[in-house]
Structure 1
Amino acid sequence: MEIKGIIFDLDGVICSTDEYHYQAWKKMADHDGIYFDRKINERLRGVSRAASLEIILEKADKQYSDEEKLALMTKKNDLYKELLSAMTEADVSKEVLDTLKELRAKGLKLAIGSSSQNTKLILSRIGLLDFFDGISDGTIISQSKPNPEVFIKAAGILQLKNENCFVVEDAEAGIDAAVAGGFHSIGIGSASSYEKAEHKINSFREIINLV
């Protein structure tokens, strides 16, 4: 196994925007009288905005048209982007930043593979927009995780074979996507106990020991 590149999920791996997502979905749901709590929010990890909305609408008292669903997603995204304005470079830990720099010094190609359509906005806020060699996100994919499309496109941008890349994920859906795409996987956070993760780590720093 020769690892030449690493593809990172963004939310929960490079930085944490989980709380911003929750607050935005919660405000949207409350406005429309839809029950939503943190337990339901856990089911949204690693899936697209449209798929997340379908999960939330399981608790709705009415059926929503495609136009109404689009309006809800737009409302949520507007709320989310307002919350993101509070993000700064301080939202990236020294451990993550130092590890990324060491990985780059080792000659590894680094990319982001995120279902988020706000990936570049977030990277800009935290000062890492120009750091990565490639960005594959929700603006260029049609299938969300566990479909491996986002990682396959990231590997393509890096001009590397899937089997020569690590995927670092904190969500089970992301690990499933990595496995489906023929990538080597590293589970961190919630995914560190997922049996399908090839490598399981408790801290971001441990990635150094795997390359």
Structure 2
Amino acid sequence: MRTVIFDMDGVLVDTEPLHHDAFYSHFAELGIQVSEEEYATFLGSSTRNVYQHLKQQYNLKQDVEELMSRKRDFFGKTFDESTTLELLPGVRELVVALHEQGIPLALASSASKETIGRVFKRFDLYPYFQHLVSGEDFEKSKPNPAIFLHAAELVGTPPAECVVIEDAANGVAAAKAAGMHCIGYQSEHSDGQDLSRADLIVSDLRQLTAATVLGLGV
């Protein structure tokens, strides 16, 4: 393997509960009732695609940009006020080990550029990653493979020589559709996510070493 592509939410940092709270605060403000089952289908999708769906599903009068902006207001406030948010156990060690071996790292996250920036600044991750790719730049979210293919193109690595680390069914499907190897992270917040198509599934990121990741598919 020549390149490792990380998802962000639920892989580098557990922001999913913050996103959940932000979405549901906004849903309450909009007066719509979104079930937890429907919400689970959004995991791995960009905020834009989520609100495109919600606007059509619930006949919302606001345009998508306005809806996205309001949700980000909720998320930003929660993110900035959180005193417990940390990188997931094992993440920094894995990132540093891969970086020290000269392995190009890329981020391909459905999160907005603003949210990616918040996370990378807070946890000083910029030095380790060559490219950061946001889902807001793509018309279709994961499971469409476009975001992963673009990340590989930026790094200059053939898809077959890339490993993706993902925690959502949509992300695993996108990685496999891109022709990449995939590690599925089965976290406490990914209950109900079908990661069975991943080449390797772990329940703790501390199970992963640079050698394990780079040896995938050998």
TM range (shorter): 0.7 to 0.9
Among 60, 70, 76, the residue aligned to 1:64: 60
Give 1:178 shift.
0.5
Contact 1:85 1:125 in 2 (8 A): no
Q: Note closer, same or farther for the CA distance 1:165–1:88 as it changes in structure 2 (3 Å cut).
A: farther
Deviation at 1:88, TM superposition (A): 7.0
Show the counterpart of 1:178: 175
Shift of 1:4: 0.8
**After TM superposition, which residue ranges in structure 1, 4 or more long, deviate above 4 angstroms?**
54-59, 87-90
Length, aligned pairs only: 206
Structure 1 residues not aligned, in runs of 5+:
none
The whole-number CA distance in structure 2 between the counterparts of 1:199 and 1:121 is 30
Q: Does the 8 A contact of 2:46 with 2:111 survive in 1?
A: yes
The answer for the alignment partner of 1:46 in structure 2 is 44
Partner of 1:79: 74
Q: TM-score, normalised by structure 1?
A: 0.87
Identify the match of residue 107 of structure 2 among 83, 106, 112. 112
Counterpart of 1:138 in structure 2 is: 135
C-alpha distance in 1 between matches for 2:30 and 2:84: 34
Match of 2:124 among 101, 105, 127: 127
Note the 1:97-108 alignment, pairs <5 A: 97-108=92-103
Amino acid at match of 1:43: T
Distance 2:172 2:15 in 1: 19
Aligned to 1:187: 184
Correspondence for 1:158: 155
2:19 and 2:127 map into 1 onto residues whose CA distance is 24
Cα deviation code 1:103-132 (max 9, x no counterpart): 222221111110111212221122213321
Distance 1:172 1:193, change over 3 A: closer
User: For the aligned residues, what is the CA RMSD?
Assistant: 2.3
* TM-score, length of structure 2 as denominator length: 0.84
Q: SS in structure 2 opposite 1:130? A: helix
Counterpart CA distance in 2 for 1:134 and 1:89 is 27
Structure 2 unaligned residues grouped into runs of 5+:
none
- Identical-pair percentage: 26
* Distance (whole Å) between structure 2 residues aligned to residue 54 and residue 136 of structure 1: 20
Structure 1 131/109 Cα, relative in aligned 2: closer, same or farther at 3 Å? same
